Structure 1
Amino acid sequence: MAGCLTLAATAQQKGGDKLSQDKAAIKSMCGCQDVTFEYTETFPADSSYKPKGYHKIIDAIEYVTVAAEDRNRIVLQHLLIADSFVIKHWTEDWQYENQQLLAYNQDNQWKKVTLPAAQVKGQWTQKVYGVDDEPRYEGSATWVHTDGRHYWESTSDAPLPRREYTTRNDYNVLRRTNHHEITATGSVHEQDNQKVVRANGTDKVIVGEKGLNTYNRTSESKCQQAKEWWEQHKSFWAVVRKSWDKVYGENSEINLQKKVNEEPLYKVMSALEEKAFKKELAGAELEKTILLTLQQFSHNTTLSLHR
């Protein structure tokens, strides 16, 4: 669990500087954890809408590790263990006093926005990415350490969550208020969301949603499979993150394509990961192929994939 810290270590930072407290809080969210995901729709915008029922996923194990770190950046990688398989889950990229965000618009489109330096002073941006490190949502806020509590909260627009994006077409933006708080046994990710129809520059909320993701530390031995998997695959995903950073840096807008050459991104990336694992693709050729793939899926080139 190198790079991770516990709540006790976070509390010990109280007498230290604010930046150290922030970093300790972020890194205390990693480790081997029992996770529960709960969601329920709450208040409809009008009586014609009938809120959907309670949804709960239990009995999952998630390993969260520090994938990269420097003075002003901490990347946390989530790995889900389900049915004896390791699944690369979402990625949290925390950046200190970051001014560049990708703001979600609609229809898999993100636009780069620049925040004033004064606005982000002392804040951390949480950049959340999907299973292929594709964009999801980003928000900037201050970590708060007071009265024995350590938490961060921000509101940002996002595409539909994976639990609904293949089954719902009655809204196209999820406005998420994400609250991350450290607990004595791990952390909680509490959500107060709004499901929004965005069209012609106007927003219409159809219903609210409450989410609660609970992370409780468990024996590190339960995550041994995930740790071994990450050691074998982390170099590939480091190249992917570097390539996405290049795409983001070169473009003011990202239009994520659902398919290129009739294949979704996850299938293409899975094939590339397999080739990298078998040493069939490496070095500069691997980097070039990954970058070209991401450029295609972000709709920034029309060249053919090198398969």
Structure 2
Amino acid sequence: MDNRNNFSNEKYLAARNRLVERNEDFINNIYLDIKGLPTVGIGVLLVNRQKDRSWELNYSRVNLLADIANISELDRKNLVSTLEKYTDTLDKHRDEKYQTLASFRKSNFGKEAQVVLGPISFGKNGKSSSWDIFTSEQSKMKFFLTREQTLELYNKISPEYEITLDNEILKTVNCPQEALSEEQRAGLYSMVYHGSTGKARRVADAIGDYWRGEISENMLRSRIEKNVLDAKFPIRSENELKYMEKIKERPQKHSMEKSDTNLAELDLSPTDKLQALIQGFKNDKDGTFTAKALADNADVVANFRDELRESLKQNQAQEVAQNTPQVQEERSYGGRSFG
């Protein structure tokens, strides 16, 4: 647990950038992901999803990219025009997804994309999930960034996601900013950066409940793990989970009034109650949680023991009933054979 009450912005930014760079590659050119979304640098999208799920070119980002790359006005117009045409193609094939570049090239989407963009090649970063554009001699244009320019672009757009995190995540679920450790805010930023705003809200909601003393640390850890891990993005979500587990110590005035071992007092579903117990047992180093859980739920334990005894009695009775005819039959059969 993080015992510091103060928040270090310097430490936060270092953790945030480290996590994003761990989940995204440094790609110093424009590329397509497996959904065909035009992206550049450290996962910076060049299109926006609209409310009707259509795609629109993000002109401010494209122009910012052109400024940072310091390209000519003619190249800027060519870049904007080409990406406009490609965005129309992307929108026509919205939500299509291809696991390999070969399958993408063979599809109607891929064929139309190559007409607009020129050759699409396997990413030089060695990842099969990114396909380079504007990098070959036959491309409509050639476009590259230096590592410094890639970082500058990322730093220029990051405030957009910070605003989203504060206004659309933390405020909507009543999670105060001071409830977050530097690592937890970095984890939430990563979720927002990758478009997982629903997941970020659920996790922030759990942190807010913990900060106000409504749930225990064990329950918080259980809810974090349940909501962060995503089978579709296992590596990214595991990285985020490691950051979210750096829990900030709450003020003494927010100490929990309800016992996390007395499940009857917690407003949880049966599944969540079971997960809370499992998480508590997993974290129990000295047997304290187990002993308290048994004491707080003495009636439940007693009922379980009574039911277990009754079940054992019924099983024994059934075994006797099943075996008795067999013994009688064997004896009768023996009498016939040797009488």
TM-score band w.r.t. shorter chain: under 0.3
Q: By percentage of residues, which structure has more strand?
A: 1
Name the structure with the higher helix share: 2
TM-score (norm 2): 0.26
TM-score (norm 1): 0.28
CA radius of gyration, larger in:
2
